Amino acid sequence: MQHLINRAVVAAILFDPKVAETLLEIPDAALGRMFKNHLCKVVGQAMVYGIDLPALREEEERLRERVKRASKRAPEHEPLPGPNKANVARYPLVLQGKVLRVHDFCMAAGITEKKLDKFVDSGRMFRVYFGPEAYCPAFFLSSMIFRDDFKNVIRGLGKTDPWVMFDFFTTPIESLGGATPLQRLSVEDVEPVVEEAKSFAEQYAQLYASAQGDS
């Protein structure tokens, strides 16, 4: 973590040598929140473009080892909260910042939780859950995709489970030229994604009905 902060500080100073003076004038809490908000947005943007941030980090680690600069400290991870243990397989998404706690998401988006509720109710966004705790996909922070375009796709997905919706948006689809729906939406190619969402929802409904029948 200290290595990350050091690099962020160096990058800021290299970008503008006078920035250190400005940053020092900002209250600690405000500066921390500002950094966290922008971090959330960057992760959301990376999801839209399909950039694998963990893979980039792993490559950097391998390079650092080759030049004998690798740190011997094991990475520290946030402990998995008790109520979330039912969804262990997806919890790395939290550690990677790909899904955000509601408070963090609202701070990064500059909206209130009441406004978020309205976006969810209108179908412009959706939440995912670890046990009772709600999280928001970081890709909703991307400025590259209009909320109405999200709405059209989410409407096409119908009553699909929120986590399955998350998978739909982030998974490459052959009929979309091997791109993810997020990537196609980022270039305003909405209609093919909406049609794919409708088809996906039909298949999901059939599978769900079949599973219910078997049980």
**Using one digit for the tens of pLDDT, what is the confidence trace for 62-112?**
545 544 443 344 334 444 444 444 467 888 898 888 999 999 999 999 999
The proportion of the chain whose per-residue pLDDT surpasses 70, expressed as a percent, equals 68
Amino acid code (one letter) for 69: R
Is 204 contained in some domain? yes
Domain that includes residue 25, residue range: 1-65
- pTM, two decimals, is 0.66
Same domain, 41 and 104: no
CA-atom Rg of the chain in angstroms: 20
Single out the residue of 141, 144, 168 nearest to residue 157, CA to CA: 168
Confidence check: pLDDT of 183 > 90: yes
Same domain, 97 and 48: no
Confidence check: pLDDT of 61 > 90: no
Cβ neighbourhood burial of 184 (10 Å; 0-12, 13-18, 19+): buried
Same domain, 14 and 107: no
Is 143 contained in some domain? yes
Amino acid code (one letter) for 204: Y
How far apart (Å, rounded) are the C-alpha atoms in residues 73 and 111? Answer: 38
Distances (CA, A) of 215 to 20, 86, 159, 203, 207: 62, 21, 20, 18, 12
- Looking at per-residue pLDDT, the higher value among 181 and 51 belongs to 181
The residue whose two tokens read 């928001």 is: 136
- The reported pLDDT for the residue numbered 1 is 59
Same domain, 10 and 46: yes
Same domain, 201 and 122: yes
- Which helix (DSSP H) or strand (DSSP E) does residue 170 occupy? helix 162-170
How high does pLDDT run on average in the chain? 79
- Which helix (DSSP H) or strand (DSSP E) does residue 39 occupy? helix 28-49
Confidence check: pLDDT of 18 > 70: no
In 62-195, at which residue ranges do the beta strands (DSSP E only) sit? 99-101, 128-130, 133-137
Same domain, 54 and 125: no
Cβ atoms of residues 61 and 55 within 8 Å: no
Same domain, 99 and 186: yes
- The mean per-residue pLDDT over the stretch 134-162 comes to 95
- Among 66-70, 181-185, 198-202, the minimum mean pLDDT is found in 66-70
Same domain, 95 and 182: yes
Is 79 contained in some domain? no
Give how many domains the chain has, as a whole number.
Answer: 2
- Among 6-20, 89-103, 153-167, 201-215, the minimum mean pLDDT is found in 6-20
Same domain, 173 and 105: yes
Other CB atoms within 10 A of residue 123 CB: 16
- The reported pLDDT for the residue numbered 44 is 78
Same domain, 132 and 58: no
Percent of the chain that is helix, strand, coil (3-state, to 5) = 65, 5, 25
- The reported pLDDT for the residue numbered 163 is 95
